Copies of this chain bind each other. A is one copy, B any other.
Amino acid sequence: MKIRVYVSLKEGVLDPQGKAIGHALNSLGFQGLGEVRVNRVVDLDVPADDSSAAIAKGEAMARALLANEVIEDYSVEVVA
């Protein structure tokens, strides 16, 4: 079952990559942009019988490896 784990910086954590992209877009002529944040998405194919088992597995993997819970939040969804 295909799942998608979104990993995003928590509110208030500085995102230097996003800031750099914002400045670069501004220099390229895209004016008036608000905040820019760059997040990570991990697409996985997990062996699971149903969606809730797949989501539980995704959350376990996020806690174990994919997200740094000190500064990042994660969410898991089934995509197919």
Residues of A in contact with B (beta carbons under 8 Å apart): 6, 18, 21, 24-25, 28, 30-47, 57, 60-61, 64-66
Contact = CB atoms under 8 A, between A and B. Distances in A.
B57 A30 contact: yes
Dominant secondary structure of chain A at its interface with chain B: mixed
B38 A40 contact: yes
A47 B32 contact: yes
B45 A34 contact: yes
Contact of A28 (B18, B30, B65): B65
B33 A45 contact: yes
A1 B32 CA distance: 11
Nearest to A35: B45
A44 B38 CA distance: 9
